[in-house]
């Protein structure tokens, strides 16, 4: 029985390889599924923004000045040195505000309009905080980790959330914080010169979910509802290693709904995904969605 089992498995391996080949870059097969989908959820990550020139602040290259970026994205860092954290986020805001949406952002925005006209729905759940989906024209967006253009008051009795596109965010950061240098002799920014709440004048912080913090309950509820009800899921520019977003697409696949991955990597993140399109998302996504991007 054991020998027979091994032979069956050996015979099945070539079949699996052939199935894997069929789903890679199968634009025709994907478009058939896409045309029949009524409720589409799109998960996006750093790979989309990278094509707009926004660096990844995780991994080996995640350094700013002589600090690891991840060490500045914590409540503890802000409590001990709010000026340093705000200078880092002032730099991140400058990078994001200077960037432009790329063809992947535009393709999703155009296809969302098409879905709206046809009585279908497309919603983006993004791990990115740069706001490029909104600037590209997308409307149905859930920002899992917050947004760089927003601030929240640190006063527990206030907690006012505001939109702020000032660059720099305050005069104290004018001309500083925008380069990766090891030595910085700039004067120390005083706490009273940091961004303040427009309602109560208390210190504000970036409206970002930092390491060690939980996602907003309502944001997470809406995201889970989409994952549990969509009939097609697109995973765009993310390796899905950060939870809870990492579990979203596999949950869709477990329900028997198709998942299409668009990523720079040659291998799919999950074998259960129905389609995999390797390469730059700005190239593969417009083709897969069948939209033309004017330049």
- Per-residue 3-state assignment (H helix, E strand, C coil) for 134-159: HHHCCCCEEECCEEEEEEEECCCCCC
Kindly report the average pLDDT of the chain as a whole number: 87
pLDDT, residue 145, reads 95
Is 29 part of any known ligand binding site? no
Say whether both 141 and 231 belong to one domain: yes
Whether 133 sits among the annotated catalytic residues: the reply is: no
The pLDDT > 90 percentage for the chain reads 73
Regarding whether 67 and 140 lie in a shared domain, the answer is no
Residue 198 has pLDDT above 60, yes or no: yes
Q: Give the total number of structural domains in the chain.
A: 2
Q: State whether 133 and 91 are in the same domain.
A: no
Count of C-beta atoms within a 10 Å radius of residue 214: 8
Q: What is the pLDDT of residue 23?
A: 77
- Report the pLDDT averaged over residues 236-261: 86
Regarding whether 261 and 203 lie in a shared domain, the answer is no
Last residue of a domain, one of 174, 190, 208: 208
Listed in sequence order, the residues at least 6 apart from 201 whose beta carbon sits closer than 8 Å to its beta carbon are none
Q: Is the pLDDT of residue 284 over 70?
A: yes
The answer as to whether 157 is a domain residue is yes
Q: Is 239 annotated as a binding residue?
A: yes
Q: Are residues 71 and 49 in the same domain?
A: no
Is residue 81 in some structural domain?
Answer: yes
Is position 12 within any domain?
Answer: no
Q: What is the pTM of this model?
A: 0.88
Domain span holding position 250 = 26-54+102-145+216-295
Alpha carbons 89 and 17: distance in angstroms, whole number = 45
Instruction: Say yes or no: 79 and 223 in one domain.
Output: no
Residue 154 lies in a domain: yes
State the average pLDDT over residues 162-183: 79
The answer to whether residues 266 and 253 belong to one domain is: yes
In a domain, 287, yes or no: yes
| Helical packing angle, 27-36 and 281-289, nearest 10° | 60
What does the pLDDT look like over 199-235, one tens digit per residue?
999 999 999 999 999 999 999 999 999 999 999 999 9
Give the per-residue pLDDT at 140.
Answer: 98
Say whether both 78 and 223 belong to one domain.
no
> For the chain, what percent of residues have pLDDT higher than 70?
86
Instruction: Please indicate, yes or no, if residue 21 is contained in any of the structural domains.
Output: no
Please name every residue paired with 31 in a beta bridge, in sequence order, or none if there are none.
Answer: none
pLDDT tens for each residue of 108-147: 999 999 999 999 999 999 999 999 999 999 999 999 999 9
Question: What is the per-residue pLDDT for 177?
Answer: 60
Are residues 186 and 47 part of one domain? no
260 versus 69: which is more confidently predicted? 260
User: Is 110 a member of any domain?
Assistant: yes
pLDDT score of 3: 46
158 is in an annotated binding site: yes
265 has binding-site annotation: yes
List for the chain the helix, strand, coil content (%; round to 5).
40, 20, 40
pLDDT exceeds cutoff 70 at 9: no
Specify if 193 maps to a domain: yes
Catalytic member of 105, 145, 149, 276: 145
Q: Is 237 a known ligand-binding residue?
A: yes
Query: Is 26 known as a binding-site position?
Result: no
Residue 6's pLDDT band (cuts 50, 70, 90): very low
């Amino acid at each position: 029985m054991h020998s027979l089992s091994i032979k069956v498995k050996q015979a099945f391996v070539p079949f699996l390889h052939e199935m894997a080949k069929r789903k890679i870059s199968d634009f025709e097969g994907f478009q058939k599924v896409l045309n029949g989908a009524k409720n589409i959820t799109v998960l996006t990550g750093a790979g989309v923004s990278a094509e707009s020139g926004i660096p990844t602040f995780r991994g080996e290259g995640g350094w700013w000045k002589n600090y690891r970026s991840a060490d500045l994205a914590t409540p503890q860092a802000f409590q001990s040195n709010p000026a340093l954290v705000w200078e880092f986020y002032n730099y991140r805001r400058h990078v994001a505000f200077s960037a432009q949406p790329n063809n992947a952002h535009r393709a999703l925005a155009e296809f969302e309009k098409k879905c709206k006209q046809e009585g279908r729905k497309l919603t983006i759940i993004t791990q990115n905080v740069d706001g490029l989906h909104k600037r590209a024209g997308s409307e149905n967006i859930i920002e899992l980790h917050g947004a760089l253009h927003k601030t929240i008051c640190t006063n527990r009795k206030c907690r006012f959330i505001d939109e702020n596109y000032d660059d720099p965010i305050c005069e104290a950061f004018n001309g500083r914080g925008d380069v990766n240098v090891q030595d910085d002799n700039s004067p120390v920014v005083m706490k009273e010169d940091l961004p303040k709440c427009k309602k109560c004048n208390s210190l504000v912080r970036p409206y970002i979910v930092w390491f060690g913090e939980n996602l907003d309950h309502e944001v997470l509820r809406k995201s889970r509802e989409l994952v549990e009800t969509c009939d097609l899921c697109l995973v765009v520019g993310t390796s899905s290693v950060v939870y809870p977003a990492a579990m979203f697409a596999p949950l869709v696949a477990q329900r028997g709904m198709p998942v299409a991955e668009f990523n720079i990597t040659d291998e799919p993140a999950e074998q259960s995904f129905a389609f995999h399109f390797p390469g730059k998302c700005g190239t593969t996504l417009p083709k897969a969605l069948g939209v033309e991007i004017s330049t």
